[in-house]
Amino acid sequence: MEPDRIARFQEIVKGLAPEKRKELMVRMKGMSKEECMAVIDRMVEISDQRRIEITARPKVLAGSGRVADDRTTGYEITRPDAWTESDDHKIEIVKNPSPRSTRPQASRPAQRPIKKAEPAAAKAGRDIVSEQIEQRERQRAEAELKREQNRVFAKKAVRFTLVCLGRILTTVVCTLVIVLAGFYTFLGIIMKGPSPHLRDQFVPSVMESSAGGILAKWILTDEEIEEIMNSNQTKAFDEITDITLVNAMAAEQNKKANAGTSAVNELDPDGDGIEVHDVSGPMYHGKMLVIYDPSRVMVATIDNYNHNGAGLTLKELIDKYDGVGGINGGKYEDANGMGIGGWPEGIVISEGKLRMGSPGGTYEVYGMTEDNVLVVGTMTAQHALDIGVRDAVSFGPALIVNGVAADYSGSGSGLNPRTAIGQREDGAMLFLVIEGRKTSSMGATMADLIKVMQDFGAVNAANLDGGMSSAMWLYDDELVSSSSVRVSRQMPSAFIILPQNSDSSADEQSPVT
């Protein structure tokens, strides 16, 4: 046992503080073997007693503060924790018998929990609540699943829509590019191709329209366009109408028509004093009205002129003066073909009053005098009033003056819808409207208008506003429709036909000086 005690002593020494260990070793050097063994035995005995005390401490139940019901005997160390050799005589082990150890505990039989009977109604209610909870959970799960499915479907739908839109947009863009490229090539062939005649027809046609001039400018320079326009123009007259060349015999012929003259009735079967003729050519068709009585012709106009205001349609202008028919009149403000007819340009004389223009200003004047003669020519507004002009507008060019046709180069212009006014030697008025910009009727040139007017015996004739404004109405029927892609065009003036045998105010007015 001695080796074991020495080994235990060595372990105890290793656990001492360095100062204590050094002090102990110094003291034991001066001792005999028997004294050393006595110290070793004592230290080992004290160490064992301390282990017994630590092991025998009562166990405390975790978290309760109560001591476990342990009937084993415990021990208590009555010495201080820090030990020195000089304290050996103070060490004393005292047996503390547990107070419970002297009281034998009677064993109790294990008790089972009392199970109470559950009423059937309570059980049924609990089952119903459980089913409701389960049902709500199922519904919640199903709703969440449906929402997830909807989200997935929405994502797929959006993705599919974007793909479709992308393909459609790509197709549209590619188609537009192809169409524009083809159209540009087509324009190039027309304007720079082997046919000068086709070019000379096309370029003036688009240049005369409100917005079509840009087509020519895509291909040709300004110098080239000017050269083509100069080679296809109608020259202006230096003279004006000689009113003595016109015999106002239309009123007398109208009386003959009412009396039943057979020759007249063939041309005017309904006896209203108006003939309706179809006219046509290689590239056009239209209508010609022959009004026997020139006193029935006047200029209708809107009440107020305004740059931002709107005019009236041809039918509205006719109805405003209780007319029976008419054609569009003079020029008006129409930037890029988007004008709404609220502001006329040039001159407007209606019922003997100067409605637009200044007395000293020079204008192209096309209108009727108090003597019911069509005046055609360039003059001041005051001169027009001095010679008795009662109704007039401006546009141009003049087509026939005093029986002489205008001199023109090429075709005189391009192919477009046209409106013209003329008068025969007997005083009968001529209203001509040509349809255009349609597959059935491309339009007429100035040369075409001159030829038609000559065929109907005009001694004076002039071109009026054309294009999308060209239209003709008679007795609530639109004989020639406007080429406008929108509704009927609004305009500030028109030449209208008053009812037959009406006493118009124009017949009662004297010339304005």
- Non-local (6+) Cβ contacts of 60 within 8 A are 66, 67, 68
Euclidean distance between CA atoms 446 and 372, whole angstroms: 25
Residue 474 pLDDT more than 50?
A: yes
pLDDT of residue 450: 95
Query: What is the 3-state secondary structure of 202-249?
Result: HHHHHHHCCCCHHHHHHHCCHHHHHHHHHCCCECCCCCCCCHHHCCCC
Least confident of 331-335, 393-397, 506-510: 506-510
pLDDT, residue 507, reads 43
More confident residue, 461 or 412: 461
Question: Percentage of the chain surpassing pLDDT 90?
Answer: 42
> CB–CB of 350/391 below 8 Å?
yes
Q: Say what the pLDDT of residue 60 is.
A: 53
Query: What confidence score (pLDDT) does residue 292 get?
Result: 94
Mean pLDDT (whole number) for 319-344: 90
In this structure, what are the phi and psi dihedrals at residue 225, rounded to the nearest 5 degrees? -65, -45
- Mean of per-residue pLDDT scores for the chain: 80
pLDDT for the residue numbered 257:
52
Residue 442 has a CB neighbour count (10 Å cut-off) of 20
3-state secondary structure 390-444: EEEECCCCEEEECCEECCECCCCCCCECEEEEEEECCCCEEEEEECCCCCCCCCE
| Residue 478 confidence (pLDDT) | 92
Higher per-residue confidence, 251 vs 330: 330
Maximum average pLDDT range among 27-36, 117-126, 478-487:
27-36
| Residue 30: per-residue pLDDT | 78
pLDDT at 80: 47
Q: What is the pLDDT of residue 358?
A: 94
Alpha-carbon span 345 to 396, nearest angstrom: 12
The per-residue pLDDT for range 48-103, each reduced to its tens digit, is: 777 665 555 555 555 555 555 545 444 444 444 444 545 444 444 444 444 554 55
Amino acid at 233: Q
- What pLDDT does 477 receive? 93
User: Per-residue pLDDT averaged across 399-420, rounded?
Assistant: 90
- Predicted TM-score (pTM) of this structure: 0.62
Instruction: Indicate the length of the chain as a whole number.
Output: 513
Q: Which residues pair with 281 in a beta bridge?
A: 284
Instruction: Quickly tell me which residue has 């209208």 as its tokens.
Output: 496
Beta-carbon count within 10 A of 356 CB? 23
Omega within 30 of 0 (cis) for the link into 397: yes
pLDDT for the residue 435: 92
Mean pLDDT throughout 124-136? 84
Q: What is the mean pLDDT of residues 226-243?
A: 81
- pLDDT value at residue 72: 47
The reported pLDDT for the residue numbered 90 is 47
Residues 3-30, mean pLDDT to the nearest whole number: 82
Reduced to 3 states, what is the DSSP secondary structure of residue 399? strand
Residues 236-294 pLDDT 10s: 888 888 888 887 665 555 555 555 444 445 778 888 899 999 999 988 999 999 999 99
| CA dihedral sign of residues 36, 42, 45, 47 | negative
